[in-house]
Amino acid sequence: MYNPESLKAEEFISHEEILSTLEYAEANKNNIALIDEILDKAKLRQGLSHREASVLLACELADKNAEICALAEQIKTDFYGNRIVLFAPLYLSNYCVNGCVYCPYHAKNKHIARKKMTQEEVRREVIALQDMGHKRLAIEAGEDPVNNPIEYILECIKTIYGIKHKNGAIRRVNVNIAATTVENYRKLHEAGIGTYILFQETYHKESYEQLHPTGPKHNYAWHTEAMDRAMEGGIDDVGLGVLFGLERYKYEFAGLLMHAEHLEAVHGVGPHTISVPRIRAADDIDPASFANGIDDDTFAKIVACIRIAVPYTGMIVSTRESQKCRERVLHLGISQISGGSNTSVGGYAEPEPEEENSAQFDVSDTRTLDEVINWLMTMGYIPSFCTACYREGRTGDRFMALCKSKQIQNCCHPNALMTLKEYLVDYASPATRELGLELIKKELCSIPREKVRDIVVERLGKIENGERDFRF
Residue at 146: amino acid letter: V
Q: What is the pLDDT of residues 305-364, one digit of tens each?
A: 999 999 999 999 999 999 999 999 999 999 999 999 998 998 899 988 877 777 787 788
Domain spans of the chain? 77-366, 389-464
Q: How many CB atoms lie within 10 A of CB 438?
A: 11
Exposure pattern of 256-282 as b/e (b: 16+ CB <10 Å)?
bbbbbbbbbebbebbbbbbbbbbbbeb
Nearest to 249, CA basis, from 278, 210, 280 = 278
Residue at 278: amino acid letter: R
DSSP characters over 42-88: HTTTS---HHHHHHHHH---HHHHHHHHHHHHHHHHHHHTTEEEEEE
Both ends of the chain: CA-CA distance in Å?
45
Looking at residue 406, its pLDDT comes to: 64
Looking at residue 399, its pLDDT comes to: 74
Looking at residue 101, its pLDDT comes to: 93
Output the CA torsion 407→408→414→419 (10° steps).
140
Looking at residue 380, its pLDDT comes to: 97
Looking at residue 282, its pLDDT comes to: 72
Element (H, E) at 407: none
Q: How many CB atoms lie within 10 A of CB 56?
A: 26
HSE toward the beta carbon, residue 351, CA cutoff 13 A: 3
Looking at residue 69, its pLDDT comes to: 98
Total residue count of the chain as it appears in this document: 472
Looking at residue 2, its pLDDT comes to: 96
Looking at residue 48, its pLDDT comes to: 98
**What's CA 187's distance to the chain center, in Å?**
22
DSSP conformational letter for 215: S
- Contact, 361 vs 320, CB < 8 A? yes
Task: Spell out, as residue ranges, where the chain has pLDDT lower than 70.
Answer: 402, 404, 406-409
DSSP characters over 104-138: TTSTT--SSPP-B--HHHHHHHHHHHHHHT--EEE
The pair phi, psi for residue 242, each rounded to 5°, is -125, 160
**What's CA 199's distance to the chain center, in Å?**
10
Nearest to 331, CA basis, from 76, 83, 66 = 76
Strand-pairing partners, residue 382, are 83
Q: How many CB atoms lie within 10 A of CB 350?
A: 10
Largest CA distance in the chain: 63
3-class SS of residue 314: strand
DSSP characters over 229-283: HHHHTT---EEEEB-BTSS-HHHHHHHHHHHHHHHHHHHS---SEEE--B---BT
Looking at residue 361, its pLDDT comes to: 73
Homologous superfamily of the 77-366 domain (CATH): Aldolase class I (3.20.20.70)
